[in-house]
Amino acid sequence: MTVFLATLTPGLARASLSNGQWNVDVVVPDLDVRCLAADPRNPMQVWGGTEGGGMERSDDVGLTWTSVGLEGMVVKVVAVTGDGRVYAGTKPPLIFVTEDGGRRWIELASFRHTRRFFWFSPAERPFTAYVQGLAAVDDVIVAGIEAGAVVRSPDRGATWERHRPGALRDCHGLAAAPGGRFVEAGGTGGGAAYSADSGKSWMRPHGHGRHYGWAAAVDVADPTLWYFSSAPGVRAHSADADAAVYRCRGLESCEQLGGGLPAPMKAMPYALITGPEPGQVVAGMSDGEVWESRDAGDAWSLLFRAPAVNRAMVRLNI
């Protein structure tokens, strides 16, 4: 069975495919979840960060949820590694990790000492910066701040390097792939950035005309094949986003995807998900439409309609 979970404001939409039919429901309507991450080791488990309620975890593919720490905190982003570490980024900008399923959270205290001269977010009052992107592979953690920096730890958070050259300071999303690849979508004029050296340095691809990036994803089999969604500016968060989904190959020029996607694209693709098969990519739109391509973005079909996809979506295959 395939299950998608998407954040609403508040609540979660849950779409399940059974016997060729999609069933869409709103589960836990009062739970204000702002970010989601699936556990790559456990297809039943998904983590969610809430607006002021700390961390939640579901062990039954999103049907029911349990509080698992960081009570009272605003959790903006969560990332789960293949060896069971769960990282949570918060507002104000702090990072926590648990290695025991949420029973005990440890703050990565050295993150407080990263250089923060430019950390300021105009997006949410009281205009305090926050961790908006997190990605981790092996010992490397990359954290993106809205707004201010993309910083890197080479040693699981023991030490941190200042803003990485070429990365976008207004980070909206990060994704990682084996082989030291990281991709970023951001809103400081470049739209997206790519790193092939474990996040040490970044470059911005060409070939796209919209420079307010939001979601980013990397193909499950080809770490040089990646995607990002973008809009002309903060218009992204309106009912007429004029958005697009782009496909990129490493640092080569990116191309705007069509193949059946809405044109013009008035809803913002807040979520991009790749896999489980190579070349498979899903776009979740702010108006609730969920589109899928199985040929790396050449052709798309509408999977189902949910109430909305507001900021985050995950796919679970059980």
Sign of the dihedral defined by the CA atoms of residues 173, 217, 208, 143, in that order? positive
Residue 215 is assigned to a structural domain of this protein: yes
**The overall pTM is greater than 0.85:** yes
Task: Tell me, yes or no, whether 54 lies in a domain.
Answer: no
pLDDT of residue 205: 87
Does 28 map to a domain?
no
The enclosing domain of 175 has a CATH number of 2.130.10.10
The answer to whether residue 195 sits within a structural domain is yes
HSE-up (13 A, CA, CB side) for residue 67: 12
Looking at the structure of the chain, the number of domains it has is 1
Per-residue pLDDT, averaged over 133-148, amounts to: 95
What tokens does 287 get? 């108006």
Reported as a single tens digit per residue, the pLDDT across 166-196 is 999 999 999 998 889 999 999 877 899 999 9
Range of the domain at 289: 80-302
How far is residue 106 CA from its own chain's centroid? Answer: 22
Query: pLDDT value at position 16?
Result: 95
Interval 226-236: pLDDT, tens: 999 999 988 98
Residue 204 lies in a domain: yes
